[in-house]
Structure 1
Amino acid sequence: MPLRSAALFAVAAALEIGGAWLVWQGVREHRGWLWAGAGAVALGLYGFAAALQPSAEFGRVLAAYSGVFIAGSLAWAAVADGYRPDRYDLVGAAVCLVGAAVIVWAPRGAA
């Protein structure tokens, strides 16, 4: 289950970050409404990817995804925009990913 969950987090991040980037490119970089429209579709698909997580706890999934989103945003910026994260960006992203893993995969007993 952790492998499926991690893969869904990666897909969700690619759709959300990629969708937001496409909207940005369409509007702010004047690439046109086709880019922005493609971004809107990707953002909608992100919601479906997030909903496919094995956990039934919406708040827990979204909280953990936030850590994945932070790390994914830095990676996207490095690849798509030539942004070079510094060591504090990388440490912060690592902390977020560890936090996400704890939220999603910590062993929980019956309450």
Structure 2
Amino acid sequence: MVARTLALFIVAALCEIGGAWLVWQGVREHRGLLWVGAGVVALGLYGFAATLQTDGDFGRILAAYGGIFVAGSIAWGMVADGYRPDRFDVAGAAVCLAGMAIIMFAPRGG
């Protein structure tokens, strides 16, 4: 279950972050509507990826995914744009990932 959850979060992050990056490139970097359209499709696929999680609590899934989104956004910026995170970026991302782990994997009674 942990591997499936993390894999789906990674797929969701690639779709959401990648889609937002494509829209950014299409609009801000003047690459055109094809880039924007591809971004819109990827953002739509993100919505489907979240629904495949085994946990049925929408709020929990989206809250936990936020940690993946934060860390994934920093990683995407490093790979795609040459962004160099500082120690506070790294620490913040680590806190977000810890929060994701607590939300998704903490033992719950009843």
Shorter-chain TM range is over 0.9
Matches within 5 A, 1:30-45: 30-45=30-45
Deviation at 1:86, TM superposition (A): 0.5
* SS at 1:79 equivalent: helix
* SS at 1:53 equivalent: coil
The share of aligned pairs that are identical, in percent, is 72
Match of 2:86 in 1: 86
Deviation at 1:95, TM superposition (A): 0.6
TM-score, normalised by the number of residues in structure 2: 0.99
Match of 1:68 in 2: 68
Deviation at 1:58, TM superposition (A): 0.2
Take 2:105 and 2:56, find their aligned partners in 1: how far apart are those partners? 13
RMSD across aligned positions (CA) = 0.4
2:39 corresponds to 1:3? no
Q: Which runs of 4 or more aligned residues in structure 1 lie more than 4 Å from their structure 2 counterparts after TM superposition? A: none
One-letter amino acid of the structure 2 residue matched with residue 43 of structure 1 = L
Take 2:10 and 2:97, find their aligned partners in 1: how far apart are those partners? 12
Deviation at 1:25, TM superposition (A): 0.3
